[in-house]
Structure 1
Amino acid sequence: MAPHPPSSAEKAALRRDALSRRDALSPEARQAGSLAVARSVLAMEALAGARLVGAFWPIRSEIDPRPIAEGLFARGQRVVLPQVTPSGLVFREWRAGEALVPGSFGLSEPHADLPALDPDALIVPLAAFDRSGQRIGYGRGYYDGAITRLAPVLTVGIAFACQEVDAVPAEPHDRPLDHVVTEDGPVPLARERA
């Protein structure tokens, strides 16, 4: 008998539980964790050669990728941030200190009049992850769509260790991450053999 398809209710429950654990972290633990993640991500050889790196602006209790962006700027790499559009994520260059504008879902985004650019590496936000590299986002599929459109693109999911789940019920449109990094360092990912 074939396994039943994953339900949105299963993903919603995993998302809710993981976000609850993330929300319970103290601001000090989130700040220290964000700095630890930045050190690990910036040490990744695969990211060092990226011409344009897609990052994101944190919301709520999300891990803060801004220390990663600062490190990328310090070594001469360029950073793009996503803008949510009806057709999906569009990435536009952001430079340190530039003002952002309010976007959909409480996001801060680059100005829409900046040219769209395609990054060759993405720092990816997530609500939950597992050790196969699957992630649960916030339920709208924007990053899965961007990863598909930009392929091949290096993907690095960043999160707190408390956001790990045993197994993400992956669907056909879900795109596994190349790497996941938490405050404990790079997460060893077990890839299934085809």
Structure 2
Amino acid sequence: MPAIDPKPLLRNEMKARRAGMASELPQAGEQMAEAVAGFFDALNDWPPAGTMIAGYYPIQSEINPFPLMQAFADHGCDLCLPCLAPGENGFRMIFRQFTIGDSLVLGPFDIRQPLDTLPEVEPDVVLVPLLAFNRDGIRLGYGGGYYDRALERLRAEKVIRAVGVAFSGQEVADLPIEVHDQHLDGIFTELGLAGADPQQ
């Protein structure tokens, strides 16, 4: 008898849990930005000015990363957003230059993304949305694999950091992992930095 995949049930449970957190903590994005900005000096001025930071446009009950992205921009970093572009086998995730306030268009799965005319870039740090995480940097996503494939491609080309963005209550003790799953180098929450140090 084939083993039952635990991820679909866990995704449903964590979606409901995250929705409750979003309702209880409407200012979590701002709190996260303040907490992380306070770490810049402690992190030896990481990331340095000119670092390309990939944020994301929040959907459903995802924590809002835009205050954090603004904090990185104020720190001298450049910004980009993921885009789903046509590929050989469906969509592939690329990244395009972005400045907060830019117009966005509706892309696949009704996710807003930069205009196709904006330059494609390669981020140095990728802020990754998620449904659950643990202290080992394992992430539960939505199951499409877009971030895993994008991170695998980027990591084959250069050193990058993938940092989860989540409510602190999305942390769980253990998560199932598959061979294609890409680990996170750290997690930002409304309480600050959880898990590993993204500099390492």
TM-score (norm 1): 0.86
SS at match of 1:86: strand
Task: Tell me the residue number matched to 1:23.
Answer: 19
Tell me which of 29, 51, 54 is aligned to 1:34: 29
Contact preservation (8 Å) 2:132, 2:141: yes
Task: Tell me the residue number matched to 2:55.
Answer: 55
Gaps of 5+ in 1: none
Contact preservation (8 Å) 1:80, 1:119: yes
Root-mean-square deviation (Å)? 2.1
**How far, CA to CA, are the matches of 1:93 and 1:155 in structure 2?**
18
* 1:22-49, Cα deviation, whole Å (9 max, x unpaired): 1113546132x21222223332437422
**How far, CA to CA, are the matches of 2:107 and 2:162 in structure 1?**
23
Q: How many residues align?
A: 184
Structure 1 runs (4+) greater than 4 angstroms displaced: none
Gaps of 5+ in 2: none
Return the offset for 1:125: 0.6
* 1:88-107, Cα deviation, whole Å (9 max, x unpaired): 21100111211100011121
Q: Structure 1 stretch 110-119 or stretch 69-78: which is displaced more?
A: 69-78
SS at match of 1:133: coil
SS at match of 1:131: coil
TM-score (norm 2): 0.84
SS at match of 1:148: helix
**Structure having greater relative contact order (Cα 8 Å, sep ≥ 6):** 1
* 1:59-95, Cα deviation, whole Å (9 max, x unpaired): 1111000001111222221100000123321100111
